[in-house]
Amino acid sequence: MARVFVLWDESHLWGVLVLRALRALGTPHVILRAHDIAEGALAGKSAPFGEFRGGGARSDTSDTPSLLIVPGGWARGRAERLGPAGMQAVRDFVAAGGAYLGFCGGAGLALTGPRREDSLDLCPWGRMGFAGRLQHFLSGPVRLRCDPASPLGPPGTSDILAPVWWPAQFAPPPAGRDDGGVRVLARYAGLGDDFWVADLNLALLPEETLTDWENLYGLQIRPDFLQGRPAVISGSYGAGRYVLSYPHLETPDSPEANAWLAHLLRQLTDGGAAPRGTAAGLIPPWQAGQDPCLWPDPSLVAAKKALLKAIAVGESHLLLFWRNPWLLGWRRGLPGPGINSAYALICEGLACPTPAPGSPAATYWQEHGPEFARLAELFCSALSGLLLAERLDMTVRAGGGVDGADETFNMSLRETRRALFGAAPALGGLCGELLGRLEELCARLWAGPPDA
């Protein structure tokens, strides 16, 4: 049976979506860290924590086709974690006949870029820059027009609805140049309901208002530039192949997108990792924080309570809101992704069975849990203060400053943001430290023992 690997580093919320999807579909998979890959895990060395065997089947280690899934997240940060050895190991894995499935940031990592250390160069296409300041801040369901002739396309249909969450864009080579045999599996063909540009819900804005804004202020609010552009592509690299998707087919409760993901899992492993979940490949809705608490670890319980309190501060001042039961919304410029990822990982930890004494998870948390608790308390307290300061900033910017107070305040606010969240697009600072510990913990909690 083929093995499905998931690169976990720098995935945060998006890695949670992939792993929840694979579990829901009953697809056996192995969680890998970047250093595992650099040390040869894709070439046959055993994974450090064993595998999740969703559905009860066990993968063998024979030379059957294998699949590496790379979730969304910051592509450059993931390249740095892989390092030259890990990046080359991924190339070697695909060249030898493996398959690569990348979503959003995972798709961007596989493209060709100006710096080889930042890009896998599996696909000769590159990343397209953004001409408008709002073009990257797109989220919600889109209509996809798919290639009905490709065996990798969604079966039985050429038009599906799938979500995008702040996607980048593919950059095909100029007309007349070799495109490397890349095949477009889907193109953008319109917007679904509940589509947002930054913190603007387009459904709540009259068409005449959007037209006025564009004419009066020169702002391109509606993402008309998406129409017809590639959204999902495929190609070959050596003896292997890749599928790169900016739409998040693993998004919970997205039936058409989920069914396509289930189909891709079959196709990219020659049927060896066929999902054993529902016939339609449906990934059920996710109510973040509502799963039964199977491991009431005091530090995680306290962190969840404190973070919810900080989120409530943001909600009461119209800075944060819940887009859906698992996705936080935020006013543009706020560090919503870090808050959302921390909350999701805390909730996932609490939903795991209590780790057995002496297990990798128990051993890790015994050493790092107390420091996590201290950092989480500090972070949540400071986050509430930051959100209140952000609200004050909205008021300060609306009026004139006095004796340079504006500049002093803005400098202090920037320093606080950086201390808590680092410099965008990376997630650093205190939040980055918390996420690092949570990633390490969840990698151990989600995987079974090596000899299981």
pLDDT by residue for the chain (452 residues), tens only, comes to 558 999 999 899 999 999 999 999 999 999 999 999 999 999 876 555 555 544 333 444 445 559 999 999 989 999 999 999 999 999 999 999 999 999 999 999 999 988 878 899 999 999 987 766 677 799 999 999 999 999 999 988 889 999 999 999 999 887 767 778 999 999 999 999 999 999 999 999 999 999 999 899 888 888 988 999 999 999 999 999 999 999 999 999 999 999 999 999 999 998 766 666 544 558 999 999 999 999 999 999 999 999 999 999 999 999 999 999 999 999 988 999 999 999 999 999 999 999 999 999 999 999 999 999 999 999 999 999 999 999 988 887 766 655 556 677 778 888 999 999 988 777 889 999 999 999 999 999 987 543 33
Distance CA 16, CA 46 (A): 22
pTM over 0.75, yes/no: yes
203/318 same-domain check: no
Query: Is 151 found in the same domain as 27?
Result: yes
Q: What is the DSSP letter of 116?
A: G
Contact 193, 161 (CB under 8 A): no
Residues 364 and 425 in one domain: yes
At 228-261, the pLDDT tens digits run 999 999 999 999 999 999 999 999 999 999 999 9
290 inside domain = no
Question: What would you measure as the largest C-alpha separation in the chain, in angstroms?
Answer: 72
Strand locations in 282-373 (E): 320-322, 328-330
Task: Specify whether 107 is located in the same domain as 247.
Answer: yes
**Token pair of 172 as six digits:** 């095909």
Complete DSSP assignment for 171-238: EPPPTTS--TT-EEEEEEEEE-SS-EETTEEGGGS-HHHHHHHHHHH----S-GGGTT-EEEEEEEET
Is 61 a member of any domain?
Answer: yes
Domain contains 388: yes
Asked whether residue 222 is domain-assigned, the answer is yes
Q: Which tokens sit at 94?
A: 């695909």
Residue 450's pLDDT is what?
37
In a domain, 175, yes or no: yes
Q: Are residues 65 and 144 in the same domain?
A: yes
In a domain, 275, yes or no: no
Whether residue 264 sits in one domain with residue 134: yes
Domain total in the chain: 2
Interhelix angle for 429-446 vs 12-24, to 10°? 20
Contacts of 241 (CB under 8 A, 6+ apart): 94, 99, 100, 234, 235, 268
Q: Cβ distance 435 to 10 under 8 Å?
A: no
Strands 200-201 and 196-197: what pairing? Answer: antiparallel
* Residue 62 per-residue DSSP state: S
- Give the span between the Cα atoms of 330 and 150, in whole angstroms: 38
Residue 452 is assigned to a structural domain of this protein: no
Q: Are residues 359 and 250 in the same domain?
A: no
Do 239 and 318 have their domain in common? no
Q: What is the CATH number of the domain that holds 72?
A: 3.40.50.880
Is the same domain home to 166 and 206? yes
**To which residue do tokens 């409530």 refer?**
312
My answer on whether 316 and 402 are in the same domain is yes
The amino acid at 108: G
Task: Supply 242's token pair.
Answer: 């890749």
Q: What is the pLDDT of residue 324?
A: 93
* Domain that includes residue 184, residue range: 4-268
Are 96 and 155 within one domain?
A: yes
The answer to whether residue 292 sits within a structural domain is no
Question: Do residue 85 and residue 175 come from a single domain?
Answer: yes
Give the contacts of 398 (CB within 8 A, at least 6 positions apart): none
